Amino acid sequence: MTEDVKSQNAKASGIWGGRFNAGPSAVMQAINASVDVDKRLFEQDIAGSLAHARMLAACGVISSEDEHAISSGLIAIRDDIIAGEFEWKPELEDVHMNIEAALREKIGAPAGRLHTARSRNDQVATDFRLWLRGALDDAAKGLRAYQEALVKQAETHADWVMPGFTHLQTAQPISLGHHLLCWVEAAERDRGRLLDARDRLNESPLGAAALAGTAFPIDRSMTAAALGFDVPMANSLDAVSSRDFALEALAAATITAVNLSRFAEEIVLWTSGRFGFAQLTDAFSTGSSIMPQKRNPDAAELVRAKPGRISGALQGLIIVCKGLPLAYSKDMQEDKQLVFDAFDDLALAIAAMSGMAADLSFNRETLEAAAGESYSDATDLADWLVRELGMPFRDAHHVSGSAVKAAEAKGVPLKDLPLSDYQAIEPKIDDRVFSVLSARASMESRTSYGGTAPVRVMEQVKAWQEHFEFELDLYDTGDDGEMA
């Protein structure tokens, strides 16, 4: 190649100068470059390249000397990036070409052998799956810490009575511990969805090359195992073009964020002066620039807002992927910003909810007083009529409603309605009825499996604690699936 041709090609592109005679316009370079976003994949990219180089050497595609030079250079580049001593160049477009160019500067000609039997298409798909696998693991671990904080609170407050709500109206007295365990159950389903998504994405695209595989004698199972994947992907087209793994992860993240936001809303309500059920310390509260008395639950409010951003990322990626023909299209470059932002938001929301779950303190007297308001024991009256008088429930419901109406007219709770008033409604009622007419008695009576009685709550607390201990033992002896 003549020096004039080399000079011309250098102006065209450091990546594909042999085909082009002129460089891209500033606008083209700006829209095409992704390094500002995807440089956070550097560890995954280097891990994938290390595994690829070792496999190429093992299969005799490159020499062991070249593999050693490539691996040493990649490790040095990784150290430079971590130390903040690496210069990212937007004209090289992305993380992959920045690292490859740096490798060539470090080790010379052997760097050019690294891209044998692969393409940026399978390279980025591999990097992205590795990154998302780690993000899903982190989210699942964060949710476990959140659950542990809630279970600890539930154990402390198993016999504290509070109002249970439907339609945000006082419904029946329940245990505070029971209420908190509800969010433990929801978080477990969230963890399951995140880990299911992780399981499905844990297949290796590496070696699929641009779209059709490669003619080189490679061992895709070797690179898959080295990177902690279960298997190599079976179809090269699917390997480079699928992004449903990211959609599934975003869907799971969205549902998780929605569940977190629901408890966040309760924290906002409970810590308000109107409810007065709970307090957050200064660690999770903010003040006002003008009203010195204010304590604002801003962390909870921001968690409440996160589903908007995370579900927006899901919808955005759905639109990016909709209608894309096989195999790879540049549209897919837009996937990472959406996923990175969504999982950053999710991680912050989980951390905030874990912190608040541990930080909350509760007002026992306020909770118990509220639990007894609005005739929350009316169902207990109806149940008593069924149990003790053999009355059909629909008839008992009618009698109980009549008693509530009489108590409202006198401005008293059911427990203070005179026996004579009860007997005017139903003559068979006797003074035993008063034993069930309190918020605490109501809570303690709900002993069915999954019910709110403190004895059932403590059973569930113990079950969760044993579950956590079993999982720790499993992690201690199992394979964590991390990159080699």
Enumerate the active-site residues.
167, 288
| Sign of the alpha-carbon torsion through 332, 333, 336, 339 | negative
| Sign of the alpha-carbon torsion through 279, 343, 100, 59 | positive
Q: Calculate ∠ Cα 251-253-257, nearest 5°.
A: 120
Q: Give the Å distances, CA to CA, from 331 to 25, 128, 178, 204, 335.
A: 19, 15, 47, 21, 8
Alpha-carbon gap, residue 197 to 454, rounded angstroms: 36
* Closest C-alpha to 43, from 117, 131, 111, 166: 131
Alpha-carbon gap, residue 404 to 410, rounded angstroms: 10
Alpha-carbon gap, residue 198 to 32, rounded angstroms: 29
Alpha-carbon gap, residue 246 to 408, rounded angstroms: 56
Residue 422 CB: number of other CB atoms within 10 A? Answer: 23
Pairing mode, if any, of strands 161-166 and 169-175?
Answer: antiparallel
375: left (phi over 0), alpha (psi -120 to 50) or beta: left
φ, ψ of residue 164 in degrees (nearest 5): -90, 145
**Contact of 49 with 120, CB cutoff 8 Å:** no
**Contact of 112 with 137, CB cutoff 8 Å:** no
**Contact of 346 with 143, CB cutoff 8 Å:** no
Alpha-carbon gap, residue 470 to 305, rounded angstroms: 34
Alpha-carbon gap, residue 77 to 86, rounded angstroms: 8
Peptide bond into 22 cis (omega under 30): no
**Contact of 315 with 250, CB cutoff 8 Å:** no
